[in-house]
Structures are given as structure tokens and as C-alpha cells.
A and B are shown apart, each in its own frame.
Chain A
Amino acid sequence: MRAPTAILLVVLAGCAPEVEPISENVSSRDLRIDVIASDEGSGATAKIELDSVFGLLRLTGGDTLRVTMADAALPLREAETDRGTVYVAEFEALTEDLLVDLQRPNDRDPRQIALVPPPFTLTAAGISGAEPLVIGWDADPGEHELSLGLTGKCILPIARSLAQDVGFYSIAQAELLHTDPGAAARCPLTLTLTRTGTTQSDLNEGLGGWFYARTVQSRTVEVSWSP
């Protein structure tokens, strides 16, 4: 490349027209919709991102986003992050699958369902004597991943994936490794059980675009540990 052309390119690159990340400039076939929804037992949130080659998009040009659960629309608000605009809904509980519907007057209307693992109640009896830690919850053999976590100041944290969602699990005291010789022999523990559902599909029936959803049901209980 000769010097005059290189100079021209530098000048043009320095004052290149700005690309506005708005939805009316992006085809539905060039769009990726990401949904992250979670429920930790005391309220649920769903965050929706409209991603493109121009970054996260803000809805313009008459485009509207609608998220419904059990035929009820969730109230969405626009929020700004360092990556761009996201749409957030805060509601009481994540109980059913989410229907995500992008309505566009001048383009295809993508509509997809984010599968949600069922909610559950987590119970755990305290640990005493030489008894194991017994954990119970509402079983569901669905298409989701199940993981368990146990933490405490006196033990090394435990993190496990459970292959079957059968509703109970136990951890023997021999598996609770102390952090160091100076740590207390016993301490209160925090137990967390998480169901994670993932949905991935073409956004426009094989014509392009992508839909990704990650939905999480998580419950935490405190476990006492006494002699």
C-alpha cells in the first residue's frame, strides 16, 4: 500500500461514521437473543440482551420486546450496562417457561421459549455426632443440570454435579475436610442446590439468528453442625 493511500485510510478510519446500536438497523436474521433468568427463592429476575455485530441493541423503530410467563406479561425495564442496553424484569418467582416475543413492524417476529427448571424446596437436617448431612428437595427428572455446593469457615468448599435429580443426597462427615489445623472443629455451613436449564435454537426457523437462554433455580439453607 502506497503512502498517500495509507494516509487516506488513517484519516478515514479516524473519522469513520459511528454505528448506532439500534434494533431498526439490524435484521432479525442477524440477531442473537440471550436470556438469563434466575430465582434464588426470594424473588426472580430475567435479563434479556439483543446482541448483534454492532453490540447490544436498543429497541427502536416500533420494535417491542414481550416476555410472558404463564400467559402473564412480565414488566420490562431498560437498563444500561458497560456493554450496552439490556432489558430486565423483576418478579415474584420463576415458575414456568418464559415466552420471549420480539415484535417488529418491518421485519420477522422471532418468538422462542426459554425452558425453566421447576422450583423446589430445599431441606437439610443439622449435623450431630457421626451422622451424615442429609439433604432433601422436590425431585424432578427433567432436562436440566443439578449441582450442589457446601461452604463453611472451617471446611474446604465442596462443589458437585449430581447426575440424577432424585430428591435426596447425603454427605458423610469424613468428606468435610477442615481448612487448617487451627480451624474450629465444627461451624455453621451453607448449603446451595442449583438447577440450571439451557435452551439454544435457531432464532428464525433455520434462516439465521440465534436464541440462547440460561435459567437457574437456586435454593440455599444454613446447616448447623454440633457435637
Chain B
Amino acid sequence: MALVALWAAPAEAQLAVAADPSTEELERAKEERALVEWIRLGLAGFYFRGTKLVGYGSRKPYHGIAGGLDLTVARFPIQSTPWFGFEIDFRFGGVTLDNDDGPDICLEGAALVAPARWRGAWPGSFTLGLGGGVSRARPVWLPTAVQAYPLALARLRLWPSRVVSLHAQWRFTPVTTDLVDDLLVQNHEVEVAVGWKALLVAARCRIDEVTGGDPVRTYRGVGCGPFVGVALYL
């Protein structure tokens, strides 16, 4: 109907209609942004255990607990290029490992692309991201206090209803600055979340793999824990 009206109207009216988006189009654009944007704030906890490098290349088990505040902002601000956006993630808390404890801080950013957004019975989106971060060394037993790294992420979101949302996310760090110490550090983090209106509850698991030492071994750590918070879909 909108297309027919555009063809039949005088030229001035056509130009005026083309320049001003309709309320319906604005509403649709807002709903599509909500499929990919959010501000999320909550508390996360983590129990982890694994093996760590001791001495030149010996292996010792460890376990620990981490937890703290987690703030994520994902935005696709440029309307002319709605496929591209950015994300900032900030985590602040504490970690204990055997006899050591201390702060656990992380700041990450990523450029996002949302190649797929769909409407229908279960609206949703699929987002990919590439970026980097700086954080306290993960796993925390590494000799360096701070590490920097690139990261990749993928996120799937579904809305089975207007108030219930489902989220799945995978985050991968292929290498860190620990490479200068001849240690290849890689992290995988997987999160599955369920939202009800603004409330969000998630389960997270992370796998840390450190390869190095003499003899060369892979030291693995696995941690899992909950996240509880609120999510605002912009």
C-alpha cells in the first residue's frame, strides 16, 4: 500500500514521503536494533580447576574461585550501516587461587557485524565480532600480571515470545601477549542464557589452555559458574 501511494502522489509529495520514514518503519528499525543491541549488567561467579606450570615444566593441580561485576554494551549506532556495530565489555571482581588472591579486571572491545536478523514466530539475530582486550592474566597462575589479546565472538539470540529470550555466545582468544614467555595461551568461553523481560540468568563455562614449558605440555583449566543480571534491549 505504501508503494502504490508513493507512485500515485505528485512529485513533491513523493520526495517528501521518501525523505521522512514512516512511524511503522521507525518502529521496525527499533525492533531490529533490539535484536542485536543491549546493555547488560550483572554479577558472575566462577569455580575453576586444572593443572598449572611449575618450575621449568612440571605440572601441579590447582583450583580457585572468581567473581564480580560484568557490564556489556552492544550498539549498532549508524542507521545507514545497520549491519555494523561495536561492543564493550568490562568485568571487575576478585579471584582466589590456592594461596593467592587479588583483583580480576578485564576490558574488552569488539567490532560487530550482524549478518542475520529475522522476524517471524521466533525473531532473532546472529552476530559476529572481532576485537581485543586487556585483563588480569587468565588463567591467573600465569607469571605475567596483565595480558593483552585479540578475540573473536559469535552470538545467537532468539525470542520465543515477547518476554522470553534465549542467548548463546562463544568467545575465543587465540593468543595472548604471554607468547613472549614462550607460552601459547588460548581461552574458549561459552555462555547460555535465558531472559524473562529484563531479568537474565546465564551459565558460563571457560576452558583455558596453556602450551609451553620443558617438556612442552598443555596445561588445561576448566571453570563454570552462573551469571545473574538485567538486560536492556535498546
Q: How far is the CA of A191 from the CA of B148 in the complex (A)?
A: 71
Within 8 Å by CB of B99, from A13, A25, A26, A28, lies A13
Contacts known (A18-B61, A29-B214, A54-B60); A8 close to B96, Cβ less than 8 A:
yes
Q: Please count how many residues in chain A sit with their CB below 8 Å of the partner chain's CB atoms.
A: 24
Decide yes or no whether A149 CB sits under 8 A from chain B.
Answer: no
Q: Are B60 and A25 in contact, CB atoms less than 8 angstroms apart? A: yes
Q: Judging by beta carbons under 8 Å apart, are B101 and A9 in contact?
A: yes
Residue A167 interfacial (CB < 8 Å): no
Find chain B residues with CB under 8 A from A52 CB: 58
A13, A17, A53: residue with the most chain B Cβ atoms closer than 10 Å: A17
A19 touches B61 (CB 8 A): yes
Among A1-47, those with CB < 8 Å from B are 1, 5, 8-9, 12-13, 16-19, 25-30
Asked if A107 is at the interface of the complex by the 8 Å CB criterion, the answer is yes
* Interchain CB contact under 8 A, B96 and A29: no
8 Å CB contact of A27 from B49, B61, B215: B215
Other-chain residue from A8, A19, A208 in contact with B65 (beta carbon distance below 8 A): A8
- Answer whether A30 and B61 are a contact pair too, CB < 8 Å, given A1-B101, A16-B98: no
Please tell me if B63 contacts chain A, counting CB pairs below 8 Å: yes
Q: Does B213 contact A (CB under 8 A)?
A: yes
Interface residues of B in 77-95 (CB under 8 A from A): 94
Q: How far is the CB of B208 from chain A (nearest CB, A)?
A: 16
Instruction: Chain B residues near A1: list those with CB within 8 A.
Output: 101
CA gap between A52 and B63 in the complex, in Å:
21
Given contact pairs A8-B96, A16-B63, A106-B215, A25 touches B58 in the complex (Cβ within 8 A): yes
A16 to B99, CA, bound (A): 10
Among B56, B65, B98, the one with the most A-chain Cβ atoms within 10 Å of its Cβ is B56
Bound form: Cα–Cα A12–B48 in Å: 11
CB pair A5–B96 under 8 Å, yes or no, is yes
Interface size class of B (residues with CB under 8 A): 20 to 34
Q: By the criterion CB–CB under 8 Å, are B99 and A9 in contact? A: yes
Contact B49 A17 (CB under 8 A): yes
Contact A30 B55 (CB under 8 A): yes
Report whether A30 and B60 are in contact in the complex, using a CB–CB cutoff of 8 Å: no
B60 proximity list for chain A (CB < 8 A): 19, 25, 54
B62 is an interface residue with CB less than 8 A from chain A:
yes
**A12–B99 Cα gap in the complex (Å)?**
8
Q: Using known A-B contacts A19-B61, A27-B213, A107-B215, determine if residue A5 contacts B94 with beta carbons closer than 8 Å.
A: yes
Q: A16 to chain B: which residues have CB within 8 Å?
A: 63, 98
With contacts A5-B101, A12-B64, A12-B65 taken as known, whether A27 is within 8 angstroms of B96 at the C-beta atoms is: no
| A54 contacts across to B, CB distance below 8 A | 58, 60
Of all chain A residues, the one with the shortest Cβ separation from B54 is A53
Q: Does B171 contact A (CB under 8 A)?
A: no
B57 beta carbon closer than 8 Å to chain A? yes
> Least Cβ distance of B69 to chain A in Å?
16
Check B58 against A26 for contact (C-beta < 8 Å).
yes
Which of chain B's residues has its CB closest to A29's CB? B56
Judge whether B59 is part of the interface by a CB distance below 8 angstroms. yes
- Complex CA gap A64/B59 in Å reads 19
A-B contact pairs, 11 of them (CB 8 A): A13-B98, A16-B63, A17-B49, A17-B61, A19-B61, A25-B59, A27-B213, A29-B56, A30-B54, A30-B56, A53-B55
Seen from chain B, the residues whose Cβ lies within 8 Å of a Cβ on chain A are 49, 54-65, 94, 96, 98-99, 101, 213-215
Known: A12-B96, A29-B56, A52-B58. 9 other contacts (CB 8 A): A17-B62, A26-B59, A27-B55, A27-B58, A29-B214, A30-B54, A30-B58, A53-B54, A208-B56
